[in-house]
Structure 1
């Protein structure tokens, strides 16, 4: 599976819900969004059917996202359905981690391989302020539950916001000296209606690495970290974990894009911040083959996003497409 620019596409991010139990400042408006009607959302069997039709074309890697995927009932059942599809080699989950202590074991038993945990602060009161919900989240509790269930490598995603949480860079990096966790610092993406956060809040990755290197020397990590994303990794000497940066604002990586996204209501989105989408749900429900639609979608996948021009493909919030 290659798009019109020769990029190999083997990775599908699957949003299973547009809802979330958080209202993170950079991801969803405080009042939420107009939720999708239940009838419009793909059933688990329909998601598995889509993946089963795309796997023979070269689809190999999946990530389950939301909204917050763990609030959708019976999520391990979907994992089992996906696990049993020939050709699928890797199933990951992106989560805010709130429900991991209760769900990590069941997800691992169902066939989930690994997790990414979003954690924008290590301070409980600041977690609640950024998420605009106080659900008692603690990164250590969530990550240790995932670790004990065998869901690894464990990645921690931190959206860095100047004046809000950038004073915790060193605290997050210190975790990698104590645990085999991979902390990735993500440049803030001002999106859609969430304009309370602007370019002034973006902390460039070069600045992040400079600040971390001032604490101790960071070395390029020669050990590949399993995954599908664009992070560049570094490591403190002797640390079991690593530090990564993801740079959508200062060093775009569109030329290496290997992914497409399936929205909760069955639209194949070929670029996170692009306008291009191909509806799959209605064709699927009519019993039509999806391979021609997918082939067309790849032929129309854009070369790059327009985020730097603040054009975000009609998105009101990142929660609509799972990031």
Structure 2
């Protein structure tokens, strides 16, 4: 599979404390000098375009807590070969920043919403009850200024949000967004368990039984999600069976952590220190080109299935970038 997609984490910091991403307790964040600078990210992306990367997704932590993100988006969109820059966000700051982000070249946005019930939203995120409404206002703003598509990422958690299917379907219809149901992954922390895990196939079956036939929905495919329209409605839903259905053979992505590690697979511990190469006094672009070429060869031998079967990697999700 040709690598065309690079996920870039710009920070490990976040204003939410989602239980499956940033476990409770004091967290040690990466010191700011150790975070990749914007010019370093731009240099890395330039090199990756020579190998066919054309899509960049900015993640975190929460990417919108880092100052000047719109400047990075502008820089990335100015690189020859980059066709789109997208963003995954918790949506808390989206209303106030959406227009500037779009003006600087942002193409698409995914917003994380795991529940539509304010009290549950407060529980899972560690934020105030009304934070949900602020996030929804961000979704509305993004749609109103023409960011398209806007997708909602919903992590499936048994006995928490698996009873909210009708609410999410109505949300999809009302706001014209695709709701993507994502399986809970065993990445860092103790929140993942067999009791909390619910396969996407189970949710898919419930939707068919309660609401009608799922019709494949043509969409620009940049990842593992399979999208469907629900017959007789205006709703669009997607499913990402990250654990129950392996898609390693179809993986077209790499991840760059905010501290400059190139991660060949979300579930694998194998990382390459890109930042160390960039900050070497003798840095030359050809050095980075050579390392990236080698990383792409290594990627072919990575087996994320083995990591999944061993219940995941040791790094917590917020330190990787999702």
Shorter-chain TM-score: what band? over 0.9
CA drift of 1:285 comes to 2.0
- Counterpart Cα distance in 1 of 2:132 and 2:174: 20
Residue of structure 1 equivalent to 2:138: 142
Residue of structure 2 equivalent to 1:250: 244
1:186 corresponds, among 182, 188, 191, to: 182
CA drift of 1:118 comes to 0.3
Query: Is 1:208 equivalent to 2:217 in the alignment?
Result: no
Q: Secondary structure at the match of 1:233?
A: strand
CA drift of 1:81 comes to 0.6
1:294 corresponds, among 292, 298, 305, to: 292
Query: Is 1:163 equivalent to 2:163 in the alignment?
Result: no
CA drift of 1:128 comes to 0.7
- Counterpart Cα distance in 2 of 1:268 and 1:308: 19
CA drift of 1:238 comes to 4.8
**TM superposition score normalised by structure 2:** 0.93
Residue of structure 2 equivalent to 1:3: none
- Counterpart Cα distance in 2 of 1:197 and 1:311: 9
Q: What is the CA RMSD across the aligned residues, in angstroms?
A: 1.5
Query: Is 1:43 equivalent to 2:37 in the alignment?
Result: yes
- Counterpart Cα distance in 1 of 2:250 and 2:196: 26
Asked if the contact 1:42–1:265 (Cα under 8 Å) also holds between the matched residues in 2, the reply is: yes
- Counterpart Cα distance in 2 of 1:262 and 1:276: 12
Q: Secondary structure at the match of 1:49?
A: helix
Residue of structure 1 equivalent to 2:4: 10
Asked if the contact 1:192–1:314 (Cα under 8 Å) also holds between the matched residues in 2, the reply is: yes
Asked if the contact 1:176–1:183 (Cα under 8 Å) also holds between the matched residues in 2, the reply is: yes
- Counterpart Cα distance in 1 of 2:107 and 2:232: 26
Deviates more, 1:30-39 or 1:149-158: 30-39
Deviates more, 1:161-170 or 1:83-92: 161-170
Q: Secondary structure at the match of 1:20?
A: coil
CA drift of 1:49 comes to 1.0
- Counterpart Cα distance in 2 of 1:308 and 1:283: 30
Q: Secondary structure at the match of 2:211?
A: coil
2:71 corresponds, among 47, 52, 77, to: 77
Pairing of 1:88-103 with structure 2 (within 5 A): 88-103=82-97
**TM superposition score normalised by structure 1:** 0.93
Q: Secondary structure at the match of 2:246?
A: coil
Which blocks of at least 5 consecutive residues in structure 2 are unaligned? none
Deviates more, 1:243-252 or 1:50-59: 50-59
Q: Secondary structure at the match of 1:121?
A: coil
- Counterpart Cα distance in 2 of 1:178 and 1:54: 39
Residue of structure 2 equivalent to 1:57: 51
CA drift of 1:190 comes to 2.8
Which blocks of at least 5 consecutive residues in structure 1 are unaligned? 1-6
Asked if the contact 2:187–2:314 (Cα under 8 Å) also holds between the matched residues in 1, the reply is: no
Q: Secondary structure at the match of 1:261?
A: strand
- Counterpart Cα distance in 2 of 1:12 and 1:84: 16
